[in-house]
């Protein structure tokens, strides 16, 4: 049978029979071919070819067999049937992939074929390349990894220069990472595992995510971002193992565990701790976690130095930080919307209890109000009018847990908001 006949024969079968039928049909057509089953090779192979490491050409008979879906207004195509010819180091390799829809999931079953040594070498090269995170962030979600170029581009805009924090805090965190990176030989000389764990804690909207992005941008490590450990067809334990296996393969790497208080629970905690600080060597992994509510985390996770040995509190900004943020945020706006130093200082004092995220919302909502009101009133006066409504909005949010004792901390978020309301309404 030729390629078309093989595919037509295979697709007439039930999904659970396709794997065996495809392998059997290809072997029968050419017994001399070496066949190897490969897991979903598309994304890695396409990136490999895009980097000029190989050539990749779809066999014309199957070029139109595309499964189309739409996301955010963009069409995305996934081959229903793919039969590619690969040129690599003078070898001729082919691989075929069939999209299997099983229940609510869609899985690719792939076979690679050709001369045995060429196929084996190519598979090794693809695996090594899959651990090169260049121009993308590896994102783990629904039990699998994918490359995210958009997130990588977003990270490139996040710097320490546009991050407002208490004086010296950015330098302290950046210096800690730099010292760790520079000390590999010293760690190994004294038999200490060369790894680092840090956790950023505090109410949402106070710079934790921006700090993580700025670290990823500044140090340029392979960046892996975990959206969740839960998937429909895999256990949390298996997915946690996948995450750490990939982080080790990509080292030196930055493993981002945002909202750790929601990622780790009573059911997966034991396995997570074992991967974080068990028998496996996590050499070269910088694990950076964040938590809005560290009280929800097991003390064994955040209080043991070999796990997350650096903890930084991102509390609500003080008046001086609020002033600097308002100055920075409005400095790039139209001249009519820029705040003077005096205006920013006065508004910074009045906006007690605001997080950085709410300060941003304060400026944006004020811009819309200023435009809709005819652009006559001074912008500082419009901002002042928007403070009270946003304080009302903040009251509707769930009260966050205060920063644990031992950290430098403000009063609780809602306590500050309520104090502001009492002061305003007498």
Q: pLDDT per residue over 156-180, tens digit each?
A: 999 999 999 999 999 999 999 999 9
**H or E segment and range at residue 218:** helix 208-219
Do the beta carbons of residue 265 and residue 297 sit within 8 Å? Answer: no
Two structure tokens written together for 352 = 């007690």
Residues 210-236, mean pLDDT to the nearest whole number: 94
Residues 281-291, mean pLDDT to the nearest whole number: 94
Rounded distance, CA 312 to CA 408, Å?
9
Has domain 149-313 been given CATH number 3.40.50.300?
A: yes
Residues 373-402, mean pLDDT to the nearest whole number: 82
Q: What is the pLDDT of residue 94?
A: 92
On the question of pLDDT at 382 being above 50, the answer is yes
Q: pLDDT per residue over 19-58, tens digit each?
A: 888 899 999 999 989 999 987 667 788 889 988 999 999 8
Q: What is the pLDDT of residue 397?
A: 63
Q: pLDDT per residue over 68-108, tens digit each?
A: 556 666 655 555 678 889 999 999 999 888 877 655 456 77
Strands (E), 24-80: 34-39, 55-58, 66-71, 74-79
Two structure tokens written together for 7 = 């595919």
What percent of the chain lies above the pLDDT cut of 70?
A: 86
Let me know how long the chain is.
Answer: 426
Domain ranges of the chain: 3-130, 149-313, 319-425
Rounded distance, CA 178 to CA 188, Å?
17
Q: What b/e sequence results for 94-128 when a residue is b if at least 16 CB atoms lie within 10 Å of its CB, and e otherwise?
A: bbbbbbeeeeeeeebbbbbbbeeebbeebbeebee
Give burial (CB, 10 Å; 0-12/13-18/19+) of 75. Answer: exposed
Give the global pTM.
0.79
Q: What is the pLDDT of residue 268?
A: 94
């Amino acid at each position: 049978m030729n390629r078309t006949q093989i595919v037509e024969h295979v697709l007439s079968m039930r999904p659970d029979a396709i794997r065996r039928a495809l392998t059997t049909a290809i072997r029968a057509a050419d017994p001399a071919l070496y066949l190897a089953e490969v897991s979903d090779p598309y994304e890695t192979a396409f990136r490999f070819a895009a980097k000029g490491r190989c050539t990749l050409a779809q066999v014309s008979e199957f070029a139109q067999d595309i499964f189309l879906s739409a996301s955010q207004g963009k069409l995305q195509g996934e081959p229903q049937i793919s039969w590619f010819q690969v040129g690599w180091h003078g070898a001729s390799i082919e691989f075929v992939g069939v999209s299997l829809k099983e229940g609510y999931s869609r899985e690719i079953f792939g076979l690679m074929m050709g001369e045995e040594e060429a196929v084996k070498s190519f598979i090794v090269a693809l695996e090594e390349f899959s651990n090169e995170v260049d121009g993308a962030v590896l994102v783990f979600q629904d039990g699998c990894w994918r490359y995210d170029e958009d997130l990588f581009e977003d990270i490139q805009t996040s710097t320490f220069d546009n991050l407002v924090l208490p004086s010296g805090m950015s330098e302290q965190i950046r210096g800690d990472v730099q010292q760790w990176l520079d000390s590999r030989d010293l760690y190994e000389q004294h038999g200490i595992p060369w790894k680092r764990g840090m956790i950023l804690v505090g109410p949402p909207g106070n710079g934790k995510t921006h700090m993580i992005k700025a670290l990823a941008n500044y140090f340029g490590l392979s960046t892996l971002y975990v959206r969740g450990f839960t998937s429909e067809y895999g256990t949390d334990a298996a997915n946690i193992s996948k995450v750490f296996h990939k982080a080790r393969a990509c080292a030196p790497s930055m493993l981002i565990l945002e909202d750790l208080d929601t990622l780790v629970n009573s059911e997966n905690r034991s396995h997570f701790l074992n991967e974080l600080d068990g028998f496996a060597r996590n050499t070269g992994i910088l694990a950076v976690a964040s938590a809005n509510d560290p009280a929800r985390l097991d003390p064994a996770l955040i209080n043991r130095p070999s796990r997350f040995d650096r903890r930084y509190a991102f509390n609500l900004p003080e008046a001086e930080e609020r002033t600097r943020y308002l100055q920075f945020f409005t400095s790039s706006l139209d001249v009519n919307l820029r705040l003077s130093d005096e205006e920013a200082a006065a508004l910074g004092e009045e906006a007690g209890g605001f997080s950085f995220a709410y300060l941003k919302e304060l400026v944006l909502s004020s811009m819309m109000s200023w435009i809709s009101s005819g652009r006559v009133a001074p912008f500082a006066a419009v901002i002042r009018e928007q403070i009270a409504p946003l304080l009302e909005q903040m009251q509707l949010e769930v009260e966050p847990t205060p920063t644990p004792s031992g950290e430098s901390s403000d009063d609780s978020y809602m306590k500050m908001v309520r104090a502001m309301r009492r002061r305003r309404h007498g």
